[in-house]
Structure 1
Amino acid sequence: MLHRRQILWTLGATLLASSTAACATAPGASRAAGLQSEGFADVAFADWSDAEPEYLLFPGDEIEVATPTANELTRTIKVGPDGRIALPLIGQAMAADRTLADLESDLSAAYASQLVRPVVEVTLKTAGPMKVWVAGEVRTPGVYDMNGDIDAYQAVIQAGDVLPGANPGQVALIRRGPGGVRMMRVVDVRPRRGEPVALRRGDILFVPRSSLGELANFFTLIRGALPIGFNYSINGQYQQF
């Protein structure tokens, strides 16, 4: 369970959905096979894992960028809404979706033209707000701040609860897994019926109208609209849904 928190984003559109034949799976299992059987072969997920991936920087994170060989360049700075930071001599650099080690390597290379044998050390000082995306058949879909530990049912309630006609027993939880792959499992958010499922920063909850075949429409609608930090790795290449 992550206690770290995630990026700021707003969702302005109400999602469309279409009905398809219902399909079921055991909690924690990959949904790729089921979706492909419904004719959505382009919707693929890795097998579910509860392993916590290496921390990736997000907008709102406060970091220290230290240069031990040039202390006057050391800065404590927040990652901006666009995922970038601004540093003396080298200007802007992309920090979001980078590990601390990746950013250290990037900045060392950038300073190489300005300093002799530059050494850069990046430390996370304060994690930014944890946010999750609640979409589909809820009253107020969008990205929500998660104050402390929260489960899938609580997130749906925060989004105004499900609409009449929704299928709260078959909600998709989409999460970035180790290596940046996208994973999906089915969760039941009906009161006193489903097992509480703790959320992590960056999780996406999609409440369908009838079945999870509607995920294909969901992906089409959000393609290109995901905020920084919602990128996933597909076939080894990072891209949005």
Structure 2
Amino acid sequence: MKKTLLVMAAALGLAGGLALSAQAEDYTLRSGDQLSIIVAQDETISTSPTANFTPYVVRPDGKVAIPYVGEIYASGMTVAQFTDTVKAGLSKYIVDPDVAVNIVKWGSVRVYVFGEVHKPGAYELTKGHTVMDAIGAAEGFTWDTAKKKIFLIHQDDTNKAIPIHLNDMLKTGNMKENYTLREGDILYLTKNGKISFARDIAPFLSGAYMLSEIKDNN
């Protein structure tokens, strides 16, 4: 038993490392990300290095407004893809535009983690917004967690629970089910794999969204 626990702990460390590496290389823009955009040929478009804020923020609708270019649907793009899109738009007005884009502040996503974790509750996630990030924010799963049956519930579709096979991620490093989380998502880690939506999840849904409404109205 002890050997099994050690192997699983090592696997968790390996999987976490893979996830962080993937996030660093493949991070995609999302709502709330604040961007610095520098256009060498036009200072009026460029973010001021002395300003305390940037006008370039990924809005809740996923778009960023750029002078001359218009609105770009940035959500889901990598920084490189977004940079290329800005260059393409500016090339109609500037010959071979020199554009540099950086993220100056990560947008946050508020999610809820309940069930068999060490610290259940609401968490504001920045930069990493995945299932593994949320479990890490809740200080990890307990030894009683049914790792083959974790459930993800989206705020806009509370009647559907998406199953997640955590064991597969831990043992193989396959991050296919390490889903990107949205605002208001709930992760529920079961204890024995047997789950009743009405009994086990519904009470957490109502409690989580009541907490969300209280916070938003303060």
Q: TM-score range by the shorter chain?
A: 0.3 to 0.5
Give the structure, 1 or 2, with the largest relative contact order (CA under 8 Å, sep 6 or more). Answer: 1
Q: Structure 2-normalised TM-score?
A: 0.48
